[in-house]
Amino acid sequence: MEVDLLIFGGGIAGLWTLLRARQAGYQALLLENRALGGVQSIASQGIIHGGTKYALGGSVTPSTRAIGDMPGIWREALAGRGDINLSRVRLLSGHQYLWSSGSLTSSLASLFASKLMQSRVAPLARDQHPPPFDVSGFRGRLYRLEEPVLDTASLMQALADQARPWCCLYDADSMAIRNDNVVIGKLAISPRRVLLAAGKGNAALMEGWAMAAPQMQLRPLHMVMARGKLPPVHAHCLGASANPRLTITSYPLEGGESVWYLGGELAETGVTREPAAQIAQARAELDRLLPWMDFKSLQWATLPIDRAEVATPGGKRPDDCYLGGAGTVMVAWPTKLAFAPRLADRVLERLAQEGVQASEQETPPLDLPAPPLAPLPWEHAKWS
């Protein structure tokens, strides 16, 4: 079987690129060896960043500039007017908040007042504060960010519904690469171009094509989940560093309960802690930052996860999505969920630059099963 583009990895990068390639007329197929939603995408906090988080050091960074247009692109898609129709995706919140427990540094105050950031960050008067910041015990400042938060399960379902005819589940142990053909059992696929978009799994796939570059880096996180009668919160707590001290997103459950999904510095510094110690740290941090709330009756769980990215000097977070590779094999890491549209555009640009034209003959269905959808982290967590 011949195809124009064969994509490995059913996370946000692979699914978005598959749909855009099919729209452009390319005979594109996607292979996934676990579940649609992948590992990293389904476990993200669903935040469509617009760069504010990356400016918390007090200045506009390359990351801020690169990602600044993404919320607008996603909002068009959520309204059904974008390149991909996401009108059925559940919006957990149309915006997020930044909160500080004290006064802002002069550099951050100047940044928020700058012309560039005024359309992204709006200070809220006390009578505009939502729960749990609407109490007299909250003495800090609250800012609203025009950056949406999506239900990642709903997002992956919407993409899968559109992409499923061209998504196949395969067994990595039964796959071989022979003369640039991908052989799975008795099926041989001859792709004109290959896109490796499998996150952490790119390393093993690159070995199959004997590729020494690009190099991949892993930046680990130790996320925390708290479950109980909690108000919906989508907010970043400002800390002493350029990273949020704590990032909270919420997911509603049946029976009036919610899950708080906790990231930020807590998750980054918690990679050396055992789950019990990380939960203890999370409880202590919430008690310090939201002392008027009672967290004693909650259930707790943790999720260690690796962020797979292109390697950078010093292991720092890349400023942008990445597309590289050589010959017929492209290698991609989106870096952030929000960068998926940008990465797909770059793939299409590269196909055009290399003179890869869409085939006229439709690819027949593969004799392979369809991948399932990946569960949300708290749906398979071990609660304590």
More confident position, 197 or 122:
197
Model confidence over 29-72: pLDDT tens digits?
A: 999 999 999 999 999 999 998 877 666 665 566 767 778 889 99
pTM for the model stands at 0.94
For 126-152, what is the mean pLDDT?
93
Q: Where are the alpha helices (DSSP H) in the chain?
A: 12-23, 62-67, 70-78, 106-113, 115-118, 152-163, 202-208, 265-269, 275-289, 340-353
Task: Classify the phi-psi angles of 81: left when phi > 0, otherwise alpha if psi is within -120 to 50, otherwise beta.
Answer: alpha
pLDDT confidence of 361, banded at 50, 70, 90? Answer: confident
For 306-325, what is the mean pLDDT?
96
Model confidence over 246-297: pLDDT tens digits?
A: 999 999 999 999 999 999 999 999 999 999 999 999 999 999 999 999 999 9
pLDDT confidence of 140, banded at 50, 70, 90? Answer: confident
How much is the pLDDT for 363?
80
CATH 3.40.50.10190 assigned to 2-42+154-215+312-379: no
How much is the pLDDT for 144?
92
Query: What 3-state class would DSSP assign to 369?
Result: coil
For 88-115, what is the mean pLDDT?
78
Q: Are 133 and 33 in contact (CB under 8 A)?
A: no
Whether residue 116 has pLDDT greater than 60: no
**Rg, Å, the chain Cα set:** 22
pLDDT confidence of 107, banded at 50, 70, 90? Answer: low
How much is the pLDDT for 237?
93
How much is the pLDDT for 288?
94
For 86-95, what is the mean pLDDT?
97
Would you give the end-to-end CA distance of the chain in angstroms?
50
How much is the pLDDT for 60?
63
Whether residue 108 has pLDDT greater than 70: no
How much is the pLDDT for 139?
86
| Domain residue spans of the chain | 2-42+154-215+312-379, 71-151+222-307
pLDDT confidence of 119, banded at 50, 70, 90? Answer: low
Whether residue 242 has pLDDT greater than 80: no
How much is the pLDDT for 110?
62
Model confidence over 49-61: pLDDT tens digits?
A: 887 766 666 556 6
Task: Classify the phi-psi angles of 255: left when phi > 0, otherwise alpha if psi is within -120 to 50, otherwise beta.
Answer: left
Q: Distance between CA 198 and CA 207 in Å, rounded?
A: 13
More confident position, 180 or 127:
127
Percentage of the residues of the chain whose pLDDT score is greater than 90: 81
- To the nearest whole number, what is the mean pLDDT of the chain? 92
Question: Where is mean pLDDT largest: 184-188, 195-199, 240-244?
Answer: 195-199
Both tokens of 83, joined, read: 């390149």
